[in-house]
Structure 1
């Protein structure tokens, strides 16, 4: 058992945060599934921007599509490429999905980030992508915005698996837990199957430390009277925030409301740790994997982080350890005015904007690949 397999045995499913056609066609993804126990794959507009716009791997497939669909809109040309990739990945992961009885083995595809504040548009696009991929182990990614919450409920009620993305705060996460439960309750009310409806809540980690650490460094450099205490918090706030989110999850699944759903055969909504590549080279490159290991969780890692953890990660039940210390870190951050609520709120807005920008760049790149004549 290598470290990635041991990670799964400890309760944290290792997923890959990367999709690229040649990577799939060359058998590299299959090797990660077979040899390392990778059980899921995530994508986002930034990943597809680099994959499709950054080379020629998709040119032949796009040219073939254009010959059959000469008047296709740019977004349809992109979706044809993305859906084909997601279908291939879903088929590679299907044995995992079957072996785990629909508990794992998922690949994610995101609705257009421009719909983050459009509930009805998000619902319509989630249904469109679900039908286009036509695989039971697809998860449609929906941003955890206020407008996204009712879309999550509607998608779950429809039997569409959902990866809720761009979560930074415990408050946003609480809204997502509620949305997932409400969708399942609707399926119970209408007598529809719910045991194979799945969801993850993607809670972002490293971006929080990058922002908080930057503020700490600024204040220390300015000679802040609390410089020593501030310095002691570097690299700790994001993990503390995640640990307390997991404590919120534990409280929720112990509630009477959730236990009533468990009696109806539902699956838990696993917390998925996202943005787990370190931003500060002073930190161990496995920091956001090592510190967040626990039952019913997922860690989606970019390829470099996955490789680093395989080589030198540490597997231990860290997620539920030192929770009181995590509360102390959060209390100190609040006392020192680091203002985590403002940071997480800004990161959520910026995250949507960044994905919109990546999506626009991606569409521009696809548009620049002229249809065949």
Structure 2
């Protein structure tokens, strides 16, 4: 029993922020499920671009698909490959899902990043992917953009599990938490079951510190701001969790809980440290709490396995976290502006990765390039 197993005892699930055909085929995921208490997997366009766009692991499968579907557009070819990987990962995690009674054991697949500002398109794509993967332990990833919020409510209402991605601000998180509840309430009002529907709210961490630290290094806030370096993202996450604790104590949530509803867990994303001056386990050690998930890239997972610290840190010194956010505002670090920018950059980054991914797949079948 290692450090990663200790997190489960503290109520935090560990998910792997990585998926790859070779890794799945060689039993890498199964090993982590067995040895590290791993209970989930996330993917995104950047991860698939690295997996499919480089090397030859997907070439044979793609060639076989092209033979039977010679006129298939590049998007269909990508989806065919992605769905096979997601199904394989979901099947590996199915015993976890069954053992935990649908509370965990999920694999996430993202709707096209091109749909980030298209509510109806997102809803339709979520339903299409859900049907195509055909696994109960799938989560459809939908960005927490203004257009994404009603899509999240509609997708939950349709009985589809949702991983809300690209959350940076507390206000955006609160909006998607309420969208989750709205979707459950509509199902419950029709007398439909809500006990096996799951959702996570993926709240991004390290990118906030990168932006804020750059501002401090550029002189914003003067010397008074320097002690805030490396602290704003963690404080922001702690306040999101404090709001979550209040929310699930509310009469509105308790009415759903009485019908078996599962809480929408906060999931910490972007937890690999970008600044080499910070400990590589910083965003794991400081964000451990009940009913949360940390989705971790392989390198950071290895670091935590070696030298992480397992303790319930998430609800420690919440007053201090409030002070950090208050100081950041007073000193002109503009957290709201930073989080708005990060959403735009996140959508653009995933769209660029998707462009590159589709381009790489097209290049492997020149007739479709």
Q: Same fold (TM over 0.5)?
A: yes
TM alignment of 1:5-24, pairs within 5 A: 5-24=5-24
CA shift digits 1:110-141 (9 cap, x unpaired): 00011011000000000000000000000000
State the Cα deviation string for residues 19-74 of structure 1 (Å, max 9, x = none).
Answer: 00001101111100001110000000000000000111100000000000000000
C-alpha separation in 2, matches of 1:356 and 1:61: 24
Determine the structure 2 residue equivalent to 1:308: 303
Aligned-residue RMSD, C-alpha: 1.1
Q: 3-state DSSP class of the match of 1:334?
A: helix
Q: Deviations for 1:249-300, whole angstroms, at most 9, x for unmatched residues? A: 0111111100111111100000000000000000000000000000000000
Per the alignment, residue 154 of structure 1 pairs with 154
Give 1:36's aligned residue. 36
> For the residues of structure 1 that align with 2:90 and 2:49, how far apart are their CA atoms?
20
Judge conservation of contact 1:66–1:371 (CA < 8 Å) in 2.
no
TM-score by length of 2: 0.98
**Partner of residue 271, structure 2:** 276
Q: Which 5+ residue runs of structure 2 have no aligned equivalent?
A: none
**Structure 1 length-normalised TM:** 0.97
Q: Kindly provide the CA deviation profile for residues 335-363 of structure 1, in whole angstroms up to 9, marking residues without a partner as x.
A: 10000000000001110011011101100
Matched, 1:348 2:343: yes
SS in 1 for 2:194: coil
CA offsets per residue over residues 73-123 of structure 1, 9 Å max, x none? 000000000000000000000000000000000000000011011000000
Aligned partners of 2:120, 2:28: CA distance in 1, in Å? 38
Equivalent residue number for residue 251 of structure 1:
246
SS at match of 1:108: strand
SS of 2:108's equivalent? strand
Aligned equivalent of 2:123 = 123
Q: Equivalent residue for 1:240? A: 235
Question: Contact 1:67 / 1:371 at 8 angstroms: preserved in 2?
Answer: no
1:136 aligns with 2:136: yes
Q: Which runs of 5+ in 1 are unaligned?
A: none
Q: Which residue among 260, 264, 270 is the counterpart of 2:255? A: 260
Mapped to 2, the partners of 1:11 and 1:248 lie a distance apart of 18
Counterparts of residues 3-152 of structure 1 (less than 5 Å):
3-152=3-152
Measure the CA separation in 1 of the matches of 2:327 and 2:154. Answer: 39
How many aligned residue pairs are there? 368
